[in-house]
Amino acid sequence: MIASTKVLLISFQNMTYIRSDDSTGKYVHLCMPVFARNIFLLLGFLAFTCGASAQGNKKFSDEEYNFLYYFQEYQEVEFSEPKLAKIYADSCLYWARKTKKDAMIGMAFQCKGWYEESKSSFKPALDYYYKSLSYMKKANNEQGIADAYGNLANAYYFLGDLTKCLEMQLLSLEYYEKILAGNPTGDKKQEALSGRSIAIHNIGDLYLEIGLFQQADDYLYESMAFDLEYGSEKDLAISYTTLGKMYKAWDRPDSAEFYFQKAIEIEEFEEQLDDYSSALLEYATLRGGGLSQQRRTKMALEALENARFMGKADSEVEALIKISDYFFDQLSTDSLSTMLREAYTILQREDLQDLAPDYFRMYSRYNSRLGDFEQAYFALDNYLELKMVADERRHTQDVIAGGIRYKLQAQFEQDSLQQVNKFATERNAYLEDISEIQNIVYLSVIGFILLIASLIYYVTSNRRKNRMNAVLMERNQLVQAQKDIVEEHNKSISDSINYARRLQSALLPTPQQINKFLPDSFLFFLPKDVVSGDFYWFENQGDWCFLAVADCTGHGVPGAMVSVVCSNALNRSVKEFALKRPKDILDKTRELVLDAFAKSTEEVADGMDISLLAIHIEKKKVIFSGAHNGLWLIREADKMKEVPDEVRTKEGKKHVLLEWKGDKQPIGRFETMKPFQECEIQLEDNDQLYLMSDGYADQFGGPKGKKFKYVALKELLLENADQSMEQQKEQLSNTYYDWIKDNEQIDDVCVLGFRL
């Protein structure tokens, strides 16, 4: 029986989708097909029990045969006949209890859980899965334990608890690893390898869903490696498709196109019509790929026809909307009208709420093309209302992703600390043993003749030293190996955290880069959201350092996207075009930003306000140019000289604040764009310079809920001008939090100061 199950196990093991029973036709990651799942567990259990029976030369009892009969019958009617499925599930549990075998009772509770899950009753399903886990542990059935954890992961996924979902999936993977660590052979090894691949793929899918692309990339590549070595061509095609979708969502079109091509080139993939059509549609609507227009059109229409052939409402609506969106300018008005009308009919009939926002967005765009702005406004209003709900879900996923990252880091740090303490305790105990042995040796040589005693002491000590050195070397190697593991895991966690803020990591220089040239400086940077529209920028070219604080249009994700374009333009202006003068840098940056946004089919008015300094540290000279944002300089009053008319001043007790205004035009599209101006400033000893965005001064707070304003910020800096830069930062932080209190932060905050 074990040999006969091998082909079935391999054929079902690597499938990674399950169709839900909520009538939406939505496909959900993290699950095997229900039929395949049941077959896999049943055959795995039969292999386990039959192996045990063969050793004892026993046959199945009547109770066991009845249990297996109802278990097999349940899988046939799980979705087609719900009432009969419940009867079979209850019968499974009844006969399993009759057998008094923990593994069979565990399988029966899994069956009950599947039934509840098929009704979308995920909390009762969760209870049954925990009971199944308990019985599998009593039976010491590692395969059953791993499967139970996988079922728990599915239930937690549908309940929206992605943290517990990831925890259960990792436990499932841990048990598969444990099985493989025992060096199994034959079918048991193949089952464990297949289960491990599924767990790895599911973890990758989960990371992909919550937007942790780097972690998803790691796990999906590992799953693909298994498919290359053990899996079928169809399994490999599914892995290629998933990687293509990941890179498409990650905005890496070249990599996405590579994997879509590899998936579609596999001939056997066409037999899996659903996955094959998904790959066709995603590839056809990939922006930036190298496909010809004719090839794109053919692939898109083939995907649409396949969806209709399969009768999958959600796939058909998704194809209609994506084709309308991508080929909007090429399609005639009649074609667009027909496609959108079909999409709306199916959308209403099947109640596909997840696809409603995309439909209303396309419908608004279509009516704008017709000139029916009343209908366009109606559709846009519906789109915005539904988009708010979708944005809230994405925000929830961001929070969950942050929680997962924090939990992983905290757990790793705790494990690392425990490991270090364990080795320290063992080392101390070892040293105590060495000391005790040494005392015994010393006492044993007393009374011997000096020469003989010296010789014995020398020989004994030499041997002991060599033995101790060998043991210590082994211990040191073990400690070093553990240290390497700790460092590797620390780097992995650090990469995970940094990657969640990948936009900021790509934009912002490290504190070490700034402190190397400006050691007496501070940065008060407080994004409103996870990512920021404000950013600071630093570059060194020869004797000159370039320093900027910029405020891009918006904040959060939109602001961060603009900041990517603007930061890249600054880098290109200095590195690629070798510009040195701030005004020339801003002129070129504006040109590059406008060129980047000019590629859009819609007019984009986004850009940034910026203060830019070129600093010659040895000559104590700066050159300033700005777009809306200015430069503040605080100088000791007794060193003040004649001040130009365009420079505004504010006096303090011992210091004077000088303010240079930037040009009244942004880096971006503007009605009257002129070349930017610049001014050269010779610095005095102890001069303090400040660059900032408007977030600090515009923050609402205080007893009357008003803005903080620039006047108050100037007074705050003048009052603390005698303090160190680090103390000034602390004063800025304390004042800000005292001011805002329970009010909501309205914008990103960035204040950068330094003293030469």
- What are the extents of the domains in the chain? 1-231, 233-308, 409-494, 504-755
Q: Measure the CA–CA gap between 373 and 208, rounded to whole angstroms.
A: 38
Q: Smallest Cα–Cα separation from 16: which of 236, 170, 279?
A: 236
Residue 752: strand pairing partners: 523, 691
**In b/e form, how buried is each residue of 387-403, taking b as 16+ CB within 10 angstroms?**
beeeeeeeeebbebbee
Instruction: Please tell me the predicted confidence (pLDDT) of residue 709.
Output: 94
Q: Torsion-angle region of residue 315: left (phi > 0), alpha (psi -120 to 50) or beta?
A: alpha
Instruction: Give CA separation, 276 vs 68, 178, 300, in Å.
Output: 35, 35, 12
Instruction: Please tell me the predicted confidence (pLDDT) of residue 548.
Output: 96
Q: Measure the CA–CA gap between 538 and 615, rounded to whole angstroms.
A: 11
Instruction: Please tell me the predicted confidence (pLDDT) of residue 112.
Output: 92
Give me 408's structure tokens.
Answer: 């992983």
Q: Measure the CA–CA gap between 225 and 236, rounded to whole angstroms.
A: 9
68-74 long-range contacts, CB within 8 A, separation 24+: 68/42, 70/95, 71/38, 71/42, 71/107, 71/108, 71/111, 72/42, 74/38, 74/111, 74/114, 74/115
Instruction: Please tell me the predicted confidence (pLDDT) of residue 390.
Output: 55
Instruction: Please tell me the predicted confidence (pLDDT) of residue 606.
Output: 75
Amino acid identity, position 31: C
Instruction: Give CA separation, 107 vs 27, 96, 144, 714, in Å.
Output: 25, 8, 8, 71
Q: Measure the CA–CA gap between 334 and 307, rounded to whole angstroms.
A: 22
SS3 410: helix
Give me 123's structure tokens.
Answer: 């909390």
CB 321 within 8 A of CB 362: yes
Instruction: Please tell me the predicted confidence (pLDDT) of residue 708.
Output: 94
Q: What is the DSSP string of 64-121?
A: HHHHHHHHHHHHHHTTT-HHHHHHHHHHHHHHHHHHT-HHHHHHHHHHHHHHHHHTT-
331-372: pLDDT as tens digits: 888 888 888 888 888 888 877 777 888 888 888 888 888 888
pTM of the predicted model over 0.85: no
The segments of the chain whose pLDDT lies below 70 read 1-59, 79, 230-231, 267-268, 386-435, 438, 442, 445, 447-448, 486, 489-504, 506-507, 555, 600-605
Q: Measure the CA–CA gap between 324 and 743, rounded to whole angstroms.
A: 44
SS3 397: helix
**In b/e form, how buried is each residue of 179-213, taking b as 16+ CB within 10 angstroms?**
beeeeeeebbebbbbbbbbbbbbbbbbbbbbbbbb
Instruction: Please tell me the predicted confidence (pLDDT) of residue 564.
Output: 85
Give me 227's structure tokens.
Answer: 């498919």
Tokens 């365009």 correspond to: 646
Instruction: Give CA separation, 463 vs 350, 440, 452, 458, 470, in Å.
Output: 83, 15, 16, 9, 11
CB 351 within 8 A of CB 23: yes
DSSP state of 703: T
Q: Measure the CA–CA gap between 713 and 698, rounded to whole angstroms.
A: 10
Instruction: Give CA separation, 173 vs 36, 42, 47, 446, 691, in Å.
Output: 19, 20, 21, 61, 51
SS3 749: strand
Instruction: Please tell me the predicted confidence (pLDDT) of residue 19.
Output: 30
Give me 515's structure tokens.
Answer: 């402190």
CB 580 within 8 A of CB 540: no
CATH for the 1-231 domain, from 3.20.10.10, 1.10.357.10, 3.50.50.60, 1.25.40.10: 1.25.40.10
Instruction: Please tell me the predicted confidence (pLDDT) of residue 55.
Output: 40
CATH for the 504-755 domain, from 3.40.50.720, 3.40.50.2000, 3.40.50.300, 3.60.40.10: 3.60.40.10
Q: Which helix (H) or strand (E) holds 169?
A: helix 162-181
Q: Measure the CA–CA gap between 317 and 742, rounded to whole angstroms.
A: 45
CB 111 within 8 A of CB 74: yes
